Amino acid sequence: MKEGWRWYGSFDRISLPEIAQSGATDIVSSLHEIPYGEVWPRDVVAKMRATIEAEGFNWPIVESLPIHEQIKRGEGDLGQFFENYRQSMANLAAEGVKVICYNFMPLLDWTRTDLTAPVARGGSCLRFDAGKMAALEIYMLKRPGAEDDYGPEALEAARIWFDGSSEADRDLLMQSVMAGLPGAYDRYDIEGLRKGLELYEDIDKDALRANYKRFLDEVIPAAEELGISLAVHPDDPPRDILGLPRIVSTGDDIAWVLGAHESRNNGLTLCSGSLGANPANDIPAIAERFADKIHFAHLRNVRKFPDGSFEEAAHLEGDTDMAKLVAVLLTEEQRRKDEGRDDCDIVLRPDHGHELLSDADRKTHPGYPMIGRLRGLAELRGVIAGIKHERQN
């Protein structure tokens, strides 16, 4: 497996020379400065590639090439948006990019309520607190029907938190929920979020799926011609939130996506953390089921709680058997090598990480500290080496 590292380009407080010391060989990055729906010019893509390669890295994967919200809503004349997406794909392929990681989550990206939740022996982690999310939906956003989406424990926690919260607490909660939009230009306040949700009022799961299939039908043929693969990232969290449907949350959802347009170029970013937040998901089993279509792997772990909350665990802790999952990926790599495929090496990256030691002073993108990810990568590297050694003896 090839070791990757997510880098936010000029927005990142961690430099490429620092990342080089991690031992990772591949950079996973994006052009976050370009608004959603616009073409990524080839000269800008080439400049990014040259910057990355000048420090001795490869740039095989873009994370992500965002999809405009109008495409997700199926709203208006979408021809230009699709053409822009295809042109961006062509410009990326011309500069050597092989995989585009993307998601089809409506309005928001990954969602957390706490960005610095304390970890038992020191440091902090990302956390999704069901009670706080319920408080935002019920008491701050006042979304009709929100009470029906939470269990009694979360509803009681929401009431207690809201009654004891200050205006600053509520502002911080809103900022945390918005933090998963690193490349977006929209950051919503409560009124802005209400207006954004209104645009999705008539879009249920079936409608969102129809819009998603249209997107795949528009772009996958171009991907095949260009020799580039699309790899959908699962929903995070893997459940409906804010009344918005989420349609890439389970193994059956993934089966629908990959079957909506049959092609090797229509694939999956296996994110063990996103899928792992759903108690019904067996992550190694999902990896084995869709192994042939895994183009990229985000490896992290989560710890789940009965009320629907979850938090980021250390990479080898939490609820997912990481060694078992890595073994599935290594088996798939060997199968591809035996077939003589040119995509046999799966790029992994240590996804998220605890803020440890001096990480808190760096103020990096939430979930993307230096030391915490170094720990995660070292642990994953050890698991891979151990499994390979066992198989060779």
Known catalytic residue at 368:
yes
Question: Model confidence over 253-309: pLDDT tens digits?
Answer: 999 999 999 999 999 999 999 999 999 999 999 999 999 999 999 999 999 999 999
* Residue 188 confidence (pLDDT) above 90: no
* Residue 125 confidence (pLDDT) above 90: yes
Cβ-count burial of 79 within 10 angstroms (0-12 exposed, 13-18 middle, 19+ buried)? exposed
Domain-terminating residue out of 197, 213, 246: 197
Known catalytic residue at 351:
yes
My answer on whether 20 and 53 are in the same domain is yes
* Residue 246 confidence (pLDDT) above 80: yes
- The per-residue pLDDT for 342 is 85
**Local structure of 129: helix, strand or coil:** coil
* Residue 176 confidence (pLDDT) above 90: yes
- The per-residue pLDDT for 182 is 58
Can you tell me the distance from the alpha carbon of 132 to that of 229, in angstroms, rounded to the nearest whole number? 38
Average pLDDT over residues 38-67: 97
Can you tell me the distance from the alpha carbon of 186 to that of 193, in angstroms, rounded to the nearest whole number? 10
The residue from 26, 307, 351, 359 that is catalytic is 351
- The per-residue pLDDT for 186 is 62
Confidence class for position 203, pLDDT limits 50, 70, 90: very high
The residue from 149, 150, 188, 233 that is catalytic is 233
My answer on whether 206 and 193 are in the same domain is no
CB atoms inside a 10 Å sphere around CB 157: 21
My answer on whether 372 and 348 are in the same domain is yes
Q: Do the strands 294-299 and 347-350 form a parallel or antiparallel pair, or are they unpaired?
A: parallel
The residue from 68, 261, 298, 365 that is catalytic is 298
My answer on whether 46 and 93 are in the same domain is yes
- The per-residue pLDDT for 393 is 83
What are the structure tokens assigned to 83, written together? Answer: 């053409």
Known catalytic residue at 233:
yes
- The per-residue pLDDT for 228 is 97
Q: Where are the alpha helices (DSSP H) in the chain?
A: 16-20, 42-54, 69-73, 79-94, 130-135, 152-164, 167-178, 190-198, 205-226, 251-260, 272-276, 283-289, 322-339, 359-362, 370-392
Domain-terminating residue out of 178, 197, 216: 197
Can you tell me the distance from the alpha carbon of 265 to that of 295, in angstroms, rounded to the nearest whole number? 9
Domain-terminating residue out of 197, 214, 238: 197
Q: In terms of residue numbers, what domain contains 66?
A: 2-110+200-392
My answer on whether 224 and 300 are in the same domain is yes
Question: Considering the chain, what is the average pLDDT of its residues?
Answer: 96
Residue in the structure block whose two tokens are 């808190």: 360
My answer on whether 237 and 365 are in the same domain is yes
My answer on whether 224 and 303 are in the same domain is yes
The β-bridge partners of 26 are: 4, 58
Known catalytic residue at 352:
yes
Domain total of the chain: 2
Confidence class for position 8, pLDDT limits 50, 70, 90: very high
Cβ atoms of residues 92 and 228 within 8 Å? yes
Average pLDDT over residues 354-381: 96
My answer on whether 234 and 345 are in the same domain is yes
pTM for the whole structure: 0.95
* Residue 183 confidence (pLDDT) above 70: no
The residue from 271, 315, 359, 365 that is catalytic is 271
My answer on whether 280 and 359 are in the same domain is yes
Average pLDDT over residues 185-197: 86
- The per-residue pLDDT for 185 is 56
Closest CA relative to residue 353, chosen from 294, 302, 282, 310: 302
Average pLDDT over residues 311-326: 97
My answer on whether 33 and 162 are in the same domain is no
My answer on whether 245 and 346 are in the same domain is yes
My answer on whether 334 and 293 are in the same domain is yes
In CATH, what number is assigned to the domain containing residue 302? 3.20.20.150
* Residue 330 confidence (pLDDT) above 80: yes
**Local structure of 367: helix, strand or coil:** coil
Average pLDDT over residues 226-243: 96
